[in-house]
């Protein structure tokens, strides 16, 4: 863990020197000059530091899912990309993962900042007690969200029967350099996440200062995500309903498509249109960056992945267009701007609710929720209500819709791991490459990502064990 703390120390020094200046005018943080953080505004500015503390880089999960197209040059240059993209179970990903460290170190740098807020916000100056508790609570939610991402990336998925036996990730609650830590079990990590949320909930506002600051809707939506991952469908449904009571707005992609149709459908144009999925996306409960953290275009999709979207899906049609460049044919990302790949949106909560209703036996209710989402996505000339005769039929439609809606985020990776562990709705990925059929089975060890070698080689004031052999 020495390497973690070296990176965190550098980040902390930069934050203090720059006065926690954010890089985007949207958030409007004013530089304060060189100073030691004392006021609540000093600590709250760390929440606004979006590029350092709100980055959810899960690139290898996206590659494993084949949720993005990877160029032949990248595959040949990065052996870890190639191993995950082609589901090479013989590859030693532990040995190959000696440089792909962003997921790990960016997450722990953010956790360090949240730990610093949690340790000091309640005694900070120039603020009322209620203001102190609000920032303290928001840091707790963000820490819980970051640990959830880590445990669902580097550890096996949650299973009640084994969660107390299997290790997860290092649990660090102090911002002190070289603080002692423990690599806790999966159950201990989930208990910690739920405790953070329970302690934070009473002090969260209904409306927060920015979309980076968690509010009640954020907390309820995240609770729903956590309980779904734990297979606790009653609690997931309870919190999904609470989140939707706070905000249930869906973006109408059919309207967006019609407004940009001439450009979208022009076969000779690859000019990008503005992304609506940035800071002010109406579906946002919270905003966090994905693998990229600056204004950019979306990742391209493979033709196989694109084929899984519904006919007339305006959200898909507005985001990707078939393109051939030399020997490569793929679906080119046609939006430019910011994308909420790491936060939580209303559509995810709708689909959590749909799954929970289906599992409870309310198939009609589940399909009603699913169709409420689809009406804002599927072009009117292609739309018809989906129906299901039973839970299995409803689940198949909900699972596929959710995979498409949350593409390029960590959620599909979490969902497939969860479904595979359960066994009832397991998913085997397959594709044909050069005439050979490749598959990724539900039992594959590749569903757990290896820790970076640097973290294992430099454990610092604790000890770490790899969670996967290769």
Q: CA 277, CA 83: separation in Å to the nearest integer?
A: 31
Q: What pLDDT is attached to residue 22?
A: 36
| pLDDT, mean over the chain | 91
End-to-end CA distance of the chain, in Å?
Answer: 21
Q: CA 466, CA 456: separation in Å to the nearest integer?
A: 7
Asked if residue 140 has pLDDT above 60, the reply is yes
Q: What pLDDT is attached to residue 148?
A: 98
Q: CA 262, CA 121: separation in Å to the nearest integer?
A: 51
CA distances 452 to 36, 97, 197, 247, Å, are 32, 5, 28, 38
- The pLDDT of 200-227, averaged and rounded, is 98
Contact, 241 vs 360, CB < 8 A?
no
Q: What pLDDT is attached to residue 7?
A: 42
Count the neighbouring beta carbons within 10 Å of the beta carbon of residue 196.
Answer: 22
Residues 6+ apart with CB under 8 A from 72: 328
Q: What pLDDT is attached to residue 437?
A: 96
Chain segment 235-266, per-residue pLDDT in tens: 999 999 999 999 999 999 999 999 999 999 99
Q: What pLDDT is attached to residue 34?
A: 53
Q: CA 61, CA 333: separation in Å to the nearest integer?
A: 19
pTM across the whole model: 0.92
State the greatest distance between any 2 C-alpha atoms of the chain, in Å, as a whole number. 67
Q: CA 315, CA 345: separation in Å to the nearest integer?
A: 15
Chain segment 422-463, per-residue pLDDT in tens: 999 999 999 999 999 999 999 999 999 999 988 898 888 889
Q: CA 359, CA 351: separation in Å to the nearest integer?
A: 12
Q: CA 6, CA 4: separation in Å to the nearest integer?
A: 6
Q: What pLDDT is attached to residue 294?
A: 77
Query: CB burial class (10 A; 0-12, 13-18, 19+) of residue 232?
Result: middle
Q: CA 120, CA 139: separation in Å to the nearest integer?
A: 11
- The pLDDT of 208-212, averaged and rounded, is 97
Contact, 393 vs 361, CB < 8 A?
no
Bridge partners of 429? Answer: 440
Q: What pLDDT is attached to residue 308?
A: 96
Residue 380: enclosing H or E segment and its boundaries?
none
Q: Is 73 helix (H, G, I), strand (E, B) or coil?
A: helix
**What is the domain partition of the chain in residue ranges?**
2-60+73-213+448-457
Q: Is 292 helix (H, G, I), strand (E, B) or coil?
A: coil
Q: CA 440, CA 446: separation in Å to the nearest integer?
A: 8
Which CATH code fits 2-60+73-213+448-457?
Answer: 1.25.40
Q: What pLDDT is attached to residue 98?
A: 76
**C-alpha angle 79/83/87, rounded to 5°?**
170
- The pLDDT of 400-415, averaged and rounded, is 98
Tokens for 247?
Answer: 């905000």
Q: CA 421, CA 201: separation in Å to the nearest integer?
A: 30
Q: What pLDDT is attached to residue 459?
A: 82
Q: Which of 24-33, 133-142, 379-388, 396-405 has the lowest mean pLDDT?
A: 24-33
Q: What is the CA radius of gyration of the chain?
A: 22
Contact, 422 vs 231, CB < 8 A?
yes
More confidently predicted of 107 and 8? 107
H-state helical runs in 247-387: 253-259, 261-265, 303-306, 314-317, 346-360, 363-374
Q: What pLDDT is attached to residue 228?
A: 98
Asked if residue 211 has pLDDT above 80, the reply is yes
Phi-psi region of 337 (alpha: psi -120 to 50; beta: other; left: phi over 0): left
Q: What pLDDT is attached to residue 271?
A: 85
What are the phi and psi torsion angles at 282 (to 5°)?
-70, -15
Contact, 123 vs 43, CB < 8 A?
no
Q: CA 112, CA 6: separation in Å to the nearest integer?
A: 12
Q: What pLDDT is attached to residue 30?
A: 38
Q: Kindly state the percentage of the chain with pLDDT values over 90.
A: 83
- The pLDDT of 353-368, averaged and rounded, is 98
H-state helical runs in 266-387: 303-306, 314-317, 346-360, 363-374
Q: What pLDDT is attached to residue 35?
A: 63
Contact, 255 vs 352, CB < 8 A?
no
- The pLDDT of 312-326, averaged and rounded, is 96
- The pLDDT of 399-425, averaged and rounded, is 97
Count the neighbouring beta carbons within 10 Å of the beta carbon of residue 123.
Answer: 9
Q: CA 386, CA 106: separation in Å to the nearest integer?
A: 41
Local confidence band at 296 (pLDDT 50, 70, 90 cut-offs): confident
Place of tokens 């990590």: 189
Asked if residue 16 has pLDDT above 50, the reply is no
Q: What pLDDT is attached to residue 8?
A: 42
Place of tokens 């936060």: 343
């Amino acid at each position: 863990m020495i390497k973690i703390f070296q990176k965190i120390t550098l980040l902390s020094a930069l934050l203090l020197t720059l006065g926690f200046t954010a890089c985007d005018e949207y958030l409007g943080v004013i530089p304060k000059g060189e100073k030691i953080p004392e006021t609540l505004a000093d600590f709250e500015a760390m929440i606004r530091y979006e590029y350092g503390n709100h980055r959810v880089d899960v690139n290898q999960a996206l590659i494993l899912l084949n949720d993005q197209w990877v160029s032949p040059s990248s595959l040949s240059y990065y052996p870890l990309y190639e191993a995950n993209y082609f589901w090479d179970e013989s590859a030693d990903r532990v040995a190959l993962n000696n440089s792909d460290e962003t997921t790990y170190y960016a997450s722990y740098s953010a956790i360090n900042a949240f730990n610093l807020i949690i340790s000091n916000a309640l005694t900070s100056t120039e603020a009322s007690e209620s203001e102190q508790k609000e920032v303290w609570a928001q840091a707790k939610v963000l820490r819980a969200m970051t640990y959830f991402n880590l445990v669902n990336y580097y550890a096996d998925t949650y299973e009640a029967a084994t969660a107390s036996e299997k290790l997860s990730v290092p649990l660090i609650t102090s911002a002190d350099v070289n603080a002692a830590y423990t690599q806790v079990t999966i159950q201990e990590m989930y208990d910690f996440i739920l405790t953070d949320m329970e302690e934070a909930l009473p002090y969260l506002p209904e409306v927060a200062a920015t979309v980076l600051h968690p509010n009640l809707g954020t907390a309820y939506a995240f609770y729903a995500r956590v309980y779904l991952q734990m297979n606790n469908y009653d609690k997931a449904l309870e919190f999904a309903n609470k989140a939707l009571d706070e905000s249930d707005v869906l973006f109408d992609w059919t309207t967006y498509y019609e407004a940009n149709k001439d450009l979208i459908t022009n076969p000779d144009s690859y000019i990008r249109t503005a992304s609506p999925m940035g800071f002010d996306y109406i579906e946002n409960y919270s905003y966090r960056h994905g693998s990229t953290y600056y204004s950019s275009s979306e990742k391209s999709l493979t033709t196989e992945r694109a084929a899984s979207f519904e006919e007339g899906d305006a959200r898909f049609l507005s985001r990707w267009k078939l393109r051939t460049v030399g020997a490569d044919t793929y679906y080119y990302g046609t939006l430019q701007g910011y994308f909420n790949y790491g936060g939580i949106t209303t559509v995810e909560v709708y689909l959590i609710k749909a799954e929970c209703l289906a599992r409870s036996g309310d198939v009609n209710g589940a399909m009603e929720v699913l169709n409420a989402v689809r009406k804002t996505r599927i072009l009117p000339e292609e739309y018809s209500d989906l129906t299901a005769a039973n839970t299995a039929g409803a689940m198949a439609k909900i699972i596929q819709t959710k995979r498409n809606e949350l593409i390029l985020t960590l959620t599909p990776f979490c969902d497939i791991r969860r479904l595979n562990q359960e066994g009832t709705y397991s998913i085997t990925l397959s594709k044909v490459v050069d005439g050979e059929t490749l598959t990724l089975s539900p039992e594959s060890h590749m569903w757990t990502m290896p820790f970076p070698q640097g973290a294992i080689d430099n454990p610092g004031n604790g000890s770490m064990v790899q969670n996967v052999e290769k």
